[in-house]
Amino acid sequence: MLVEQRLNNEKKSPLIAYLLWFFLSGFAAHRFYMGKTGSALVMLLLCWIGIFTAVFMVGLILLVIFAIWWIVDAFLIPGWVEADMREKRSKIANEIGANAMLS
């Protein structure tokens, strides 16, 4: 019960992830929120380089790639939230188990 209580306090919210995905996708905020920093930086660069080079037509290709990636992320978010919850549940259970052994 203690594990589930702590998990509810620490888990990522799918609603927040989707709001970030919809409103701040140009900044890859949903990926940063979910802890996917490396791919968030790539997505961020892809978007902004695409915007600034759209005049030269190269940017349009980058923006199409970004748009496809953005749509795919909508389907990946629930899995990320679930994986985050499993990881945190395991971590909290291990911490509680370790603390119980020390007591």
Residue 53: the pLDDT is: 96
The pTM for the full model equals 0.88
The model's confidence at residue 103, banded by pLDDT at 50, 70 and 90, is: low
54 sits in which H/E element? none
Q: Which residues fall within 8 angstroms of residue 13, CB to CB, at 6 or more apart?
A: 81
Q: What are the tens digits of pLDDT across the range 56-99? A: 898 999 999 999 999 999 999 999 999 999 999 898 888 888 77
Q: What is the pLDDT of residues 38-58, one digit of tens each?
A: 999 999 999 999 999 999 898
Is the pLDDT confidence value at 101 over 80? Answer: no
